[in-house]
Structure 1
Amino acid sequence: MYKILANTIFLGKDVHFLPECHSTNDTALNLVRTGQAGEGSVVICNHQTQGKGQRGNVWSSQAGMNLTFSLVLRPDFMDISEQFFLNMAVSNSIRQLLQDYLPTLQVKWPNDLIVPGYGKIGGVLIENTFSGKEWEFAVVGIGLNINQVAFEAGNAASVKAITGSEINLQELFRLLITQLEQGYIQLKKGRWKEIKAEYLNRLYRNQIWANYSANGEQFSAKIVGVTTEGKLEMELENGDLIVFGLKEVVFQ
């Protein structure tokens, strides 16, 4: 059972634990809309049956083996156009903690967590709700493969599959929530340049020439940055700069 956390300021003071659910993001959204959850609330599920990933993908997780949870935040101190900074802060926080177990862990744009040579161990899906131009709340869904060692997807990996060590999920959850809170506080303090610099420093393929495809055509390019809106900035071999949004470019 995941309990209310004593070592945080606001995150994890309200924990909703579910033995099974379709999606922690959907559950958290429903709790917010019905007034049962506010900023800092956490929904965590032992077995998520229809977890959501980027690009409409399904995040599959074995019961009791991994961490699947969602945070409720209210980042109304940010402009809607700046929302990718929340993405970067969350991705940085997860990587900071897990790099103790996986030193070569990187973030693959926009927010997948991968270990090159092994595969994807997790991801983040942030669903925002706005009222006009005002930010109401953000539900931050996080799925991490921790102790699962068998996967249907060929590109999936886990902490245990890579390190051979069994991880205490409740202790890791406590440490991770603490790290995420620190990252969010850093964002609130306006340390955005540091957040972006750290994100780019551990961004998969940043400043490295590699192959990609877009609109059915293959090309060689290197990642040179991300925009405030979270689009991927790339340089072509002829020196031209191009920008891609979600679903617009495929890593080869």
Structure 2
Amino acid sequence: MKLIKLDAIDSTNDFLKSLASQDELDNFTVVTAENQTKGKGQMGSKWQSESGKNLIMSVLVKDFLYDNEQVFNLSVIVSLAVIDVLKSLNIPDLCIKWPNDIMSYNKKVGGILIENTIKSDGRIVSVVGIGVNVNQTNFDHLPNASSLAVICKREFDKKSLVILILEKIQQKIDSWENNSADLWKEYFNSLFRQGIPMPFKKLSSQDSGQNFMGIIQGVSPVGKIQILLEDDSVSEFEIKEIQMLY
């Protein structure tokens, strides 16, 4: 494993993508930072972090994805890897808010952003950005966020989390071929509010702002959420099309 430690950077994902485009980096090269000035989340949202308090890492993953229809498999693997590590630290009531936010109780403690690049020879190279709120205690203006320290009332060694999470990702990738059905089942069983009626908001331009009730039934192979609607039909939505209200 090649580990690149930075003090401050605009985005570890952007830094690693730039390195990967210029150099034949080793698989599972990791970049970490104490402070990230332009952290990104899903749909271009900003991810804010207090300097030195949280885990900020990006991992290069090659030779796993070979088809655009498979890209969500990596999201399943990384989400479960982070959940497994946090379970080993006795973080309570963990789940995954689709597609890959890490929750404890109903608070977000981590997020994942995977960016894929298709090379000229057809290979898919992925940069996996992982952020975990570890020792930050101030979440003013972020009512749905929390940290491991707030939830467990103690501080954690964030440096050890890098190795633990990377090892889990590698283990799950190595076992994927023989274990993919079980991992998909584990992912679904870990979903936040699955099987429970809850409100959603439509984000698409045609129905923007419209709320509706639904029940999460599953996730398609390409990562679309499957929701049972009030008329007993099941519709699939992409991440940019709906928002969970909780």
TM-score normalised according to structure 1 size: 0.90
Matched, 1:198 2:176: no
Q: Which residue of 2 aligns with 1:180?
A: 169
Deviates more, 1:137-146 or 1:148-157: 148-157
Aligned equivalents of 1:25, 1:250: Cα separation in 2: 24
Q: Which residue of 1 aligns with 2:143?
A: 154
Q: Which residue of 2 aligns with 1:79?
A: 67
- Is contact 2:31-2:58 (8 Å) kept? yes
Q: Give the alignment partner of residue 112 of structure 1, picking from 93, 101, 104.
A: 101
- Is contact 2:65-2:124 (8 Å) kept? no
State the one-letter code of the partner of 2:164: L
Q: Give the alignment partner of residue 242 of structure 2, picking from 222, 228, 249.
A: 249
Q: Which residue of 1 aligns with 2:231?
A: 238
Q: Which residue of 2 aligns with 1:227?
A: 220
1:7-86 counterparts in 2 under 5 A? 13-35=1-23, 37-86=25-74
Partner SS state of residue 123, structure 2: strand
Partner SS state of residue 239, structure 2: coil
- Is contact 2:59-2:128 (8 Å) kept? yes
State the one-letter code of the partner of 1:158: S
Q: CA RMSD in A?
A: 1.5
Partner SS state of residue 134, structure 1: coil
Going from structure 1 to structure 2, the CA distance change for 1:75 and 1:209 (only over 3 Å counts) comes to farther
Number of residue pairs the alignment of both structures matches: 238
Aligned equivalents of 1:93, 1:241: Cα separation in 2: 29
Q: Which residue of 1 aligns with 2:156?
A: 167
Q: Please, which runs of 5 or more residues in structure 2 have no aligned partner?
A: none
Q: How far off its partner does 1:36 sit?
A: 5.8
State the one-letter code of the partner of 1:146: V
Q: Give the alignment partner of residue 102 of structure 1, picking from 91, 95, 106.
A: 91
Q: How far off its partner does 1:172 sit?
A: 2.3
Q: Which residue of 1 aligns with 2:114?
A: 126
TM-score normalised according to structure 2 size: 0.92
Aligned equivalents of 1:36, 1:83: Cα separation in 2: 21
Deviation string 1:132-154 (CA, Å, 9 cap, x unpaired) is: 68233100000000011102422
Q: Percent identity?
A: 32
Matched, 1:211 2:199: yes
